[in-house]
Structure 1
Amino acid sequence: MATLTFLILFTHSILALRSLRRLHIYGCTQLDASNLHILVNGLKSLETLKLEECRNLFEIPDNINLLSSLRELLLKGTDIESVSASIKHLSKLEKLDLSDCRRLYSLPELPQSIKELYAINCSSLETVMFTLSAVEMLHAYKLHTTFQNCVKLDQHSLSAIGVNAYVNIKKVAYDQFSTIGTNSIKFLGGPVDFIYPGSEVPEWFVYRTTQASVTVDLSSSVPCSKIMGFIFCVIVDQFTSNDNYIGCDCYMETGVGERVTRGHMDNWSSIHACEFFSDHVCLWYDEKCCLKNQECESESIEELMASYNPKISFEFFAKTGSIWEKRIDIMVNGCGVCPVYDTECDNFFKQMELELEMTLQSMATKMSSKEATLAPKQVCKKLIFPHHQIGTWKNATQELKDILFL
C-alpha cells in the first residue's frame, strides 16, 4: 500500500516537470499501463523513457504517440505482451530495446526513424510486422537489428526480416560508398548488422557455403567494375556465453599457393552477440572492410591484384571472452560473402525490381513445399505469384506484403 501511495504521489509530482527529457524507472512493481498513460499525458517533452524490470507493465498505452520528441524507448525486462500500433507515429524514435520481454508475442510496424532494434530473448514473440513498402524500406536506416533467441517467430515474420535486412544493409553500404572522397563522408561507427534465427545463408549471397570459409574469385567479378567492399553472413550454432564475437580472417592468395593475410580479428571485421540457443543468421557490413576507404594500406587493391591471384579467402570463426582466441567448439554451419561493386550503387534500385521477383518466386517454391507437409487442418491458402514486369517494383512489394501477412 505504501508503494502504491508513493507511486500516486510520484505521478502527480512528476507531472509538474513538463520539460523533463529523461525518465528512468527500474523495478517498479506498481507501474502499470494506466499509470503510464497518465505519465505520458504529462511528460510530452521526454526524449528518453527507460522502464526496466517493471513486472506489472503488460502493455504500452495507445497515447505513446504523444511523446513526439521521444528518441529512446527502453523496456528491457518488462512483462509487456504487446506494443500499441500508435508507436509507428513516433517519427523521432531511433532506439527501441525490448530485450528479455519474455511475454511479448507481437510487434507492430515501427517508424522509419528506428536505427537500433533489440529484441533479445523475447521467447514468446511470434509476429513481427516489418514493413515491405518500397518507399519505407528505402527511407529506413537501421544500424543494429537483432532478434536473438526469438525462436517462435513465424515464417512470414522471418521472411519479412530477411527482406528488410537485404534492402537495408545494401542501401547503407551504397550510401556510405557514395560519400567517400567527398567533404560529407559518412562514418557508421561500427558494423551494421542483422541477427535472427535461421540455418541458411540467404540466396542473394553470390558466394556461400555450408563450411566456415569461402573464396571469392575476383576474375569473375562484374565487368568494368571495382569491388568497394563486402557484406558478410555467418550461420552460428549455439553459444553458451554472453560475451561473444563472430569474426573473419581475410587472405589474398598468391600464384604459388601461399596466402597473405589482409587483416585479422583485431582490424578486419567482427560483430558482438550474446548467447544463442539455436542456429542464427548473422549479417553485417563493416565500413572498415571498404577497400576504397583503407587509406592506411600501402598497396591499392589494383596493385595487389597485379601481384597475386585474383582470389580472396574468408575464414569465419567465433570467440568468447576478452581474449582474442578462436573457439573450435563453436560450430560455424555456413557462411557467405557478397561483394559490393561501384557500378551497383547507381543501379541498385533498378536491380531490386528484378531481384525482388526472384525472391518472390523462391519464397513461393519453399512455402509450397512446406504446405505439402502440413496436416489437413493446417493447409494454408495457396500462393499464386503473377508475372511482374520491369518497373512494377512498388506493386511487387505491395503484393509481397499481402502474401507475407495473409
Structure 2
Amino acid sequence: MFPFYFSHNLFLHLKYRPDSTLVDKIVKDILKKLDCRTSSPNLKGLVGIERRTQQVVSLFQVGDLLKLGIWGMQGIGKTKLVEAIFYHVLNGFQNHSFLANVREHKESRNLSQLRKKFLSDILEDENLDISTPTIIPSFVKDRLSRKKVLVVCDDVSELSQFEFLFGGIDRFGRGSLLIVTTRNRQVLFQCGMNLIYEAKKLNKYESIQLFCQHAFKSNHPIEYQLGLSRMVLSFANGNPLAIKFFGSPLYGKNKNYQERAVKELKQIPNPDILKLFRSSFDGLNPVEKDIFLDIACFFKGEDRDFVTRIMEACYPSAYSRIENLIDNRLWIPEEIYDVLTKNNGTETLTGIVLDMSKLEKLELEPIAFMKMRKLRILKFYNSCGRTLLFKELLSLPDELRYLCWEGYPLKTLPSTFHPRYLVELDMSSSNLEQLWEGKQNLVNLKVINLNNSKNLVRLPDLSTATNLEKINLCWCFNLRELPSSLQHLQKLTLLDFSYCESIRSLPSFYKATSLTKLHLSGCSKLFSFPEVSSNVTELWLGGTKIEEVPSSIECLSNLRLLDLWGCRRLKSLPTSIHKLKSLEKFNLGDCSSLETFPEILDIMERLRDLDLSGTVLKELPFSIDNLIGLKILRLNNCENLVCLPDNFYKLKSLLHLSLCGSSNQVVKNLFTAIGHLPGLSSLKKLDLSESNLENLPATIKQFHLLEELILRKCKRLKSLPELPPSLVYLDAHDCTSLEDVSSIKKLFEQELFCEDGSNRFLQLKFSNCFKLGEKVVGNDIDAYDSTSVQEVSSFKNLLKQVVFSKSLGWLFTNYFQLDQKAVRSPETPKLEMPFEHMVTALTDHHQASPKSKKRACIITCVPGSGIPEWFDFKSLGSSINIQLPSERWSNNSWINFPCFVASVAVSFLDSYEGKGFRITSECHLKSCNGDNHDLSCSYSFSFGSRLRDHVFLVYDGFVLGSSLKVRHQTIVFTMWLPFISTLMSGIRPNAR
C-alpha cells in the first residue's frame, strides 16, 4: 500500500463542492501521487547514466534553495542526465515541473505557455494565468515560498528565457531544487546558479559499449568490430549522440560495408552529425564563427593561452560572412602544395598550416606568397629533416600575426618583411644566423621562439617590442651577443638561454621588473651571477662557471627555486642565504667544490627540497633543524661527510631521505636518531643504495610510516631485519651478498590479510641477488592431497592446447590447490627463498575465511631461468584458452577467478640496458550466454642495469564490476613482456 497525503488545495473546497466533484478531485490527486511514485525513466541503453546521476546527486546539500546548472556540448547527454536526476529525487518534493526544450520556445507566446505549465504544475491550479512576465501577484509568491518544489528548465539558450519563466519569483520553499541545463556555461552564471556541473563525455569503455549496442546489438565487439569501434570513437570523442549516429547505420550490414562506411567518415561527414552541430555553429556571431574556424582548422589541441593570444591579434573587430570563410583556410597538404607551387593563392586566403611530413619535397618560388596579402597565420611544422627549397629569397606577407616555420632553411628573414602585426614568431630548429638587420616595429610581438637554431649568432635590437613576454633561445650553441635592449622590456616574464654555450656575459635584468623565470642552465662559459629584480621566482644556473653567489641574493624575496646543479667551481654560499624566505627548492647537486654550507640563522619554513648530492661537505650545519618544512633531502655520494648533526632528528617534516653512497658512520647516525622520536617519524622513503653495511640495524622497524626502502648495489649486505609493516616497496637490486630475507614473510602476511583495511601494492625486487638463487629450501611449495590431485587432473584434461606468442617463447602452466598438508609433503619441489615465504603466506590466505582477506597485489623477482617442476603444461602461441566444465561455471564461486598467482621466467635480450618496462596480464572472459568481458592489469619495473635470467612471481587480481558477476564458460589468460628472448610462465586462478 502507498501512503497518500492529499494536497492542501484539495481541502480548501471540501465544504463548498458537491460529493461527485469532491470524489473526482480525490481520485485525480491519488492518481497523481501514484504516478510520482511508480513512474521512472527508461534507462536501458543509457550507458554511464547511473554513475553520472550519482555524481551529481552527491553534490546536493540541504539548504533554502539549490540552483544547479548543468552545461555541456550538444549531444553530450544533458537532457538524459537531468531526466534521470529528476526521477531519482522526485519523491522528496511536494510538487514538480519539467520544462523541456526551452531553446525552441523563443517567441513570447511559446514562453508564456511554458510559464503557465510551470505555475500549474507547482500550484496545482490549471486555470491560473498571469499575463505580466516579470510581475508576480503577492498571493502567488506567498504560495510558492511555502512549497518544497523540484523544477527543471532544460536547454536554456539565453538569459531572457530564464527571466521570462521565473522573473519576479523571489524564492521557493526550503529545500527546493531548481535545475537548468544549457550549452553555454556563461548563461548559468547569468542565471545565478550556485552549483555548476559540466556534463562529461563517455570514457573509452563506455563509448565502446554504446557504439556496440547500436552497431552490433552487443555490449562487446569481436576483434574486427573492436577495430571499427576505435576508428569511429576517435571521431565521436565520447559524445553519446554522435556515437549513436555513427553506429546505427552499421547495424545489420556485412563486414565489408561496415569497414568501408567507417573509412568514409573522414572524407564524407555523417549528415545527421552536421545537422546536429550546425545549429550550435549558427548561434555564433560572425567574429565567433571566424575564430571557431581558425581554431578548428589550425589550432586544434593547442594551448589555450597561446591560441587566445593569436586570436586577439587577428580579430580586434572583424565581421565576415561564413560562406566566404570556409574556403579561406588551407590545412590539407595536397591543397597547400598546389597553391604554393602553382602560385594560385588569392587575397582571400587567411591561413596556411602545413604538416611537412605529409609531402616529400616542396620548392617555393620567390612570389609564392605574393598574392596572399591577407595571410594572417602561416605554420610549417613536422619538418622531419625535410627542407623546403627556394630558388631565390622569398617574400612574406606583412599581415602575418603568427609565423611558425620549423626548420626554416635560410640565414635570415626576408628584408622586405615588416612584422609590425606579428604576435608570435616561432622558428625552432632553423638555419637562421640572425632575424633581420636594424630595427623593426615590433609593438605587437609577444613571443619569440628560436630554440635549437644552432647557427644563430645574435639577436636584433628589440627595443620596440614593448609587449614582448617570452623569449626561448635554448640550444642556440653559437649565440654570442644579447642586445642591451632586453633590460628595458617591462612585460618580459620568461627568458630561456639554456645551453647557449657561447654566451659569456649578460645585460642587467634589474629593470625588467616583470621577469619571473630566467633559465641559464648549461651556459658553460658564463662566470658571473646575473643581476635580476626582486620579482624573479626561478633561477636556473646549473652547469655554469659561477664561482660565488653574491650576498645581495638576499634581496630576491620572491625566489622560489634556485638551481645551481653542476656548478663545479662554486666553493661557498653567502651567510645571508637564510633570508630567502620564499625559497622552496634549492639544488646544489654535483657542486663538487662546495666545502661548506652556512649556518641557517633563521627559520626557513618554505624550503621543501634540498639537494646536496656530490658535494665535498664534511658536515651539515648544526642549525639544520631550522628547515622546519623540509620534505626531501638528498645527500648522495657525499663522500667527505663523516656524520650527521645532533639536531638532524628534529626534521619532523622529512618524507624522503637519500643517503646513496654514504659512509657507514652516517648511516649509523641516522639509526641513532630514530631513538629521538618523534623526530624523523614522518619518513616515507629511505635510499641507502651503495652503502657498505653488512646488516641493517634492527631499529629500522621504528620508521613506522616508511613505505619505500632502496638498497640497490649494497654489495656487502647479507640479511634483512624485520622491516616496518608500512613498507610497500623494497628494491634490493644487485645486492650480490644477500642470502637471508626471511623477514619478508611478515610483509606478505600484512599485505594479504585485513588489518588496517587498506588495499596496497607490495613490490619486492631481488634482481641480481644471486645468493638467493643458490639457497633453496625444502617443503616450500604445495603438493596435493587426494582431493586436490583429482581436481587438478580434471583441469589437465581440459588444457589440451596452450598457446603463446612466438616472440615470447615457451609457456608452462599448471592449476593447483594450496593447502597445509601439501606444504609439509617431503616430495614438494624446492623454491628460492623469497618465493618460499610468498607461497607459505598464500597458503594461509587461501585457507582463510573471506572476511579476513583483502584485495592485494604482490610482485617479487629473483634470479633464475626456469619455472618449478609443478608447472607442467607447455605450448607455443599467444594465450591460454580454458574451457571450464559445466560443474565449474555453474558454481558461483568461480566468478572470483580473476584473482591469480602467476610466475614468469624471462631471459632479457642483449639490447636491454635496464630501462623501465611493464608486464601486462590480460584476461578475456566469455559467459555462458555469450557475453564477453576483457580485464587487464600491469606492473612497472626498472632496474637501471643489464640483467641475466630472472623469475617474476605475481599475486594479483582483476577488479570485477557488478556486470561481470556472471557464470563464465571460457577463460583466456595472456601475459605480455618486452625485452625478452624466452619466457616460461605459470598461472593459478584462486577463488577469494
Q: Which residue number in structure 2 is paired with residue 145 of structure 1?
A: 764
* 1:339 corresponds to 2:960: no
Q: 2:948 aligns to what?
A: 278
Please report how far the alpha carbon of residue 160 of structure 1 lies from its aligned counterpart in structure 2 after TM superposition.
4.3
Shift in CA distance, 271/21, structure 1 to aligned 2, threshold 3 Å: closer
Q: What is the CA-CA distance between 1:96 and the residue it aligns to?
A: 0.8
User: Measured at CA, do residues 98 and 64 of structure 1 come closer, stay the same or move farther in structure 2, by a change above 3 Å?
Assistant: farther
Q: Cα distance, 1:331 vs. partner?
A: 0.8
**Equivalent residue, structure 2, for 1:155:** 775
Aligned residues: 303
Task: From the superposition, tell whether residues 47 and 173 of structure 1 become closer, same or farther in structure 2 (CA, over 3 Å).
Answer: farther
Q: Is residue 2:608 matched to residue 1:26? A: no
Contact 2:654/2:683 (<8 A) preserved: yes
Match for residue 313 of structure 1 among 954, 958, 972: 972
Pair 1:194-2:802 in alignment? no
Equivalent residue letter for 2:727: I
Deviations 1:91-122 (A, max 9, x none): 22111112233443332221222111111222
Change (3 A) 1:57 1:115: same
Distance, in Å, in 2 between the alignment partners of 1:208 and 1:150 is 27
Measured in 1, the distance between the counterparts of 2:707 and 2:833 equals 20
Mapped contact 2:619–2:645 kept (Cα < 8 A) = no
Q: For residues 949 and 710 of structure 2, what CA distance do their matches in structure 1 show?
A: 22
Partner of 1:47: 655
Unmatched segments (≥5 aa) in structure 2: 1-570, 572-592, 598-616, 778-830
Return the alpha-carbon distance in structure 2 between the equivalents of residues 224 and 294 of structure 1.
13
Which residues in structure 2 correspond to 1:236-315 (within 5 Å)?
236-239=906-909, 240-241=912-913, 242-251=915-924, 263=934, 268-274=936-942, 277-287=947-957, 289-290=958-959, 292-293=960-961, 295=963, 301-302=966-967, 305=968, 310-315=969-974
SS in 1 for 2:641: coil
Larger strand proportion of the pair: 1
Q: How far apart, in 1, do the equivalents of 2:927 and 2:650 lie?
A: 67
CA 1:86–1:235: 2 relative to 1, 3 Å: same
Q: Aligned to 2:895, which of 214, 227, 230?
A: 227
Bigger radius of gyration: 2
Matched, 1:84 2:697: yes
Taking structure 1 as the reference length, what is the TM-score of the superposition? 0.59
| Distance of 1:300 and 1:125 partners within structure 2 | 45
Amino acid at match of 1:271: Y
1:12 counterpart residue number = 622
Q: Deviations over 1:323-381 (max 9, x none)?
A: xxxxxx5211x21222121xxx4xxxxxxxxxxxxxxxxxxxxxxxxxxxxxxxxxxxx
Pick the aligned partner of 1:107 from 706, 720, 728: 720
**Amino acid corresponding to residue 767 of structure 2 in structure 1:** Q
Residues 27-58 of structure 1 show CA distances to partners (whole Å, capped at 9, x for unaligned) of: 312234xx147464443553321223x35457
Cα distance in structure 2, aligned partners of 1:301 and 1:281: 34
Change (3 A) 1:131 1:100: closer
- Supply the distance in 2 between the matched residues of 1:142 and 1:252 (Cα, whole angstroms): 24
CA 1:198–1:125: 2 relative to 1, 3 Å = same
- Aligned AA (2:638): C
Q: CA 1:126–1:215 in structure 2 vs 1: closer, same or farther (change >3 Å)?
A: same
Shift of 1:76: 3.5
Counterparts of 1:167 and 1:142 in 2: how far apart (Å)? Answer: 19
Match of 1:355 in 2: none
**Partner amino acid, structure 1, of 2:940:** H
Deviation at 1:196, TM superposition (A): 2.2
Bigger relative CO (Cα 8 Å, ≥ 6 apart) = 1
* Mapped partners of 2:664, 2:920: distance in 1: 38
Q: Give the residue type in structure 2 aligned to 1:194.
A: T
Between the aligned partners of 1:274 and 1:5, the Cα distance in structure 2 is 35
Q: Is the 8 A contact 1:169 1:192 kept in 2?
A: no
Deviation of residue 238 (structure 1)? 2.6
* Deviation for aligned residue 1:166: 3.4
Q: Distance in 1 between matches of 2:932 and 2:978?
A: 19
Residues 233 and 215 (structure 1), Cα distance of their counterparts in 2 relative to 1, 3 Å cut: farther
Whether contact under 8 Å (1:249, 1:261) holds in the other structure is no
* 1:330 to 2:981 alignment: yes
Deviates more, 1:136-145 or 1:114-123: 136-145
Letter in 2 for 1:144: Q
Q: Is the 8 A contact 1:49 1:72 kept in 2?
A: yes
Letter in 2 for 1:274: S
Aligned partner of residue 145 in structure 1, secondary structure: strand
User: CA contact under 8 A between 2:707 and 2:728: conserved in structure 1?
Assistant: yes
Quote the offset at 1:319 in angstroms.
1.5
Deviations 1:170-228 (A, max 9, x none): 899999x9799xxxxx997xx6422222345468x8x7645565454532749552232
Matched, 1:60 2:670: no
Give the structure 1 partner of residue 166 of structure 2. Answer: none
Given that 1:214 and 1:336 are in contact with CA atoms closer than 8 Å, whether structure 2 keeps it comes out as no
Aligned to 1:396: none
Is the 1:116–1:145 contact (alpha carbons within 8 Å) kept by the matching residues of 2? yes
8 A contact 1:318–1:330 mirrored in 2: no
Q: Distance in 1 between matches of 2:641 and 2:619?
A: 13
Q: Report Cα offsets for 1:268-320 as digits up to 9, x if no partner.
A: 23322235623322222444x23x3375xxx6542xx3xxxx34232333215
Instruction: Describe the shift of the 1:104–1:221 C-alpha distance in structure 2 as closer, same or farther (beyond 3 A).
Output: farther
Aligned residues of 1:81 and 1:105 also touching (Cα < 8 A): yes
Q: In angstroms, what is the RMSD of aligned CA positions?
A: 4.4
For residues 59 and 151 of structure 1, the distance between their equivalents in structure 2, rounded to whole angstroms, comes to: 28
Tell me the secondary structure at the aligned position of residue 978 of structure 2.
strand
Q: 2:859–2:952: 8 Å Cα contact kept in structure 1?
A: yes
